[in-house]
């Protein structure tokens, strides 16, 4: 069983604040890390697919970084908006074509 942890478990921020959270994963046998956004009553949707150490990806106000040597990825949201409220999941793929292991998610609530 692979240990993929996300922190914090939940987060409340004011509209306009910037925020970030962490996904920790095993540093050995890394293949890829994905970030997903999961809104209540909807399917999770992919945000980023990250494969190389040092990767930085950006989509609008959301960005992510990857450090495979130390086994962590950060997700940043700049100027949080109420529509950013969701659970953010990371998914760790280990060496080659193997099953994905999800983190427990960070539940973000942006207060207007």
Q: Is 57 exposed, middle or buried (0-12, 13-18, 19+ CB in 10 A)?
A: middle
State in angstroms the smallest separation of the CB of 16 from another protein.
28
Structure tokens at 39: 């809104």
Residue number, 92 or 112, with CB nearest to another protein: 92
State in angstroms the smallest separation of the CB of 112 from another protein.
25
Tell me if 71 contacts another protein by CB under 8 A. no
Radius of gyration of the chain (CA): 13
Q: Which of 21, 30, 36, 72 binds another protein (CB under 8 A)?
A: 36
| Cβ-contact 53, 68 below 8 angstroms | yes
Nearest to 32, CA basis, from 80, 64, 59, 63: 64
Residue number, 18 or 53, with CB nearest to another protein: 53
Return residues touching another protein (CB under 8 A).
1, 6, 31-32, 34, 36, 42-46, 49, 89, 91, 93, 96-97, 99-105
């Amino acid at each position: 069983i692979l240990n993929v942890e996300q922190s914090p478990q939940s987060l409340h921020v004011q509209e306009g604040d910037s925020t970030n959270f962490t996904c920790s994963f095993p540093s050995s046998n890394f293949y890829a890390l994905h970030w997903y956004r999961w809104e209540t009553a909807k399917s999770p949707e992919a945000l980023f697919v990250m494969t190389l150490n040092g990767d930085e990806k950006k989509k609008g106000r959301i960005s992510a970084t990857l450090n495979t040597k130390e086994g962590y990825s950060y997700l940043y949201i700049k100027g949080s908006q109420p529509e950013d409220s969701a659970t953010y999941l990371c998914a760790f793929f280990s060496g080659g074509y193997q099953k994905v292991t999800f983190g427990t998610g960070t539940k973000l609530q942006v207060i207007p």
